[in-house]
Amino acid sequence: VADVTITSEFPYIPENAFTWLYCYHTGTIINQRGYQFGLELDTGSGRGFISARNTYNNPRRVRVWYYDSRNNNASVHLTNAISCIVRQNGVTDKVITFKMREDADARPRLFSRTVNVGDSVTLEMVRNSASTRTGDLEWRKNGVVLQGQTALTLNINNVQSSDEGIYECYYDGAYSDRKQGIMRLIVRACAENKYGSDCANDCPDCYNGGVCHDQTGVCVCPPGFSGTYCGT
């Protein structure tokens, strides 16, 4: 499994601000649409990474410092889920981070949730107290509107692999304002504490929020932790 981490200067971008991302990695970065970082959604500007950027590379990391040359408003034009894909020893791994407007109408309670097949999960957004907008909310999954979901919470029972994806929440009719909250649901293909192609193997104990990889059994560590079992 490749070792890959994204670090981001503030996920909520102030208006008229510059911001940056780093992708630290082993293995080889896989370009997406001709660039080292990819956009997971089309929030109104397509899925190509904007050209108003500065890029720095060395063998273990790539940095992008980006802005919008038309009005310097990166918060509008890069409201998105941003990914870095790395391949090592035939295994491909993707990490995703988020950029949202500082004045977003809704913000995710958590940027990501990791659950097992068969679990139940509640995805939750928090209304920005500074927002003056009212009315029903709307959710999207991977860019597709989820009909009938009009609250700050989205409940999914008996989670399946098909539920995995990027979820957005925003006020109905206001998607083009790009003031949505964005979060990710990750679904392990096996039941809790199991891994492997047939989910028959027992996972090791992963510490400090580490998660057992559902195919390899390797502990996938959160940012700031490392080691075989995420203990350091």
Residue 68 pLDDT more than 70?
A: no
Q: Which pair of tokens denotes residue 106?
A: 């809704």
Q: What is the pLDDT of residue 175?
A: 96
Q: Which of 214, 189, 219 is nearest to 201 (CA)?
A: 214
Instruction: Report the 10 Å Cβ neighbour count for 221.
Output: 22
Kindly report, residue by residue over 71-128, the tens digit of the pLDDT: 555 556 678 999 999 999 888 899 999 999 999 999 999 999 999 999 999 999 999 9
**Residue predicted with more confidence, 48 or 107:** 107
**Number of domains forming the structure of the chain:** 2
| Bridge-based pairing state of the strands 112-116 and 181-188 | parallel
Express each pLDDT in 188-200 by its tens digit. 999 999 999 999 9
pLDDT of 69 > 60? The answer is no
What does the pLDDT read at residue 181? 98
Q: If we measure between CA atoms, which residue out of 101, 96, 179 comes closest to residue 137?
A: 179
Residue 96 lies in a domain: yes
- Work out whether the CA dihedral 9, 175, 181, 39 comes out positive or negative: negative
Q: Are residues 80 and 133 in the same domain?
A: no
Inform me whether the pLDDT recorded for 1 exceeds 70. Answer: no
φ, ψ of residue 77 in degrees (nearest 5) = -85, -10
Residue 8 clears pLDDT 60, i.e. is over it: yes
Dig out the tokens for 134 from the structure: 């009212």
Asked whether the predicted pLDDT for residue 230 surpasses 70, the reply is: yes
Same domain (yes/no): 70, 150: no
Q: Judge if 87 and 130 occupy the same domain.
A: no
The values of phi and psi at residue 175, to 5°, are -60, -35
What does the alpha-carbon distance between residue 55 and residue 160 come to, in Å, rounded to a whole number? 38
**Single-letter residue type at 214:** D
Looking at the structure, tell me whether residues 97 and 151 fall in a common domain. no
Structural domain range at position 71 = 4-101
Render 202-232 in DSSP notation, one character per residue: EPPP--TT-EE-TTT--EEPPTT--STTS--
Residue 221's pLDDT band (boundaries 50, 70, 90)?
confident
Of 81, 101, 121, which marks where a domain is finished? Answer: 101
Q: Is residue 204 part of a domain?
A: no
Task: Count the Cβ atoms, other than its own, within 10 Å of residue 151.
Answer: 12
pLDDT at residue 91 in the model: 85
Query: Within this chain, do residues 170 and 138 fall inside the same structural domain, yes or no?
Result: yes
Of 5-14, 94-103, 203-212, give the lowest mean pLDDT range.
5-14
pLDDT, mean over the chain = 91
The more confidently predicted of residues 223 and 197 is 197
What's the angle, vertex CA 160, arms to CA 32 and CA 181, rounded to 5? 55
- Describe the chain by its helix, strand, coil percentages, rounded to 5: 5, 45, 50
Token duo for residue 51: 């050209």
- Residue, of 123 and 20, whose pLDDT is higher: 123
Report the 10 Å Cβ neighbour count for 49: 22
Q: What is the pLDDT of residues 165-183, one digit of tens each?
A: 999 999 999 999 999 999 9
Q: How many whole angstroms separate alpha carbon 119 and alpha carbon 47?
A: 32
Please state, in angstroms and rounded to a whole number, the distance separating the CA atoms of residues 149 and 138.
6
Residue 132 pLDDT exceeds 70: yes
Please compute the mean of the pLDDT values over residues 142-158 and round it to a whole number.
97
CATH number, domain of 110, equals 2.60.40.10
Which one-letter DSSP state was computed for residue 118?
Answer: T
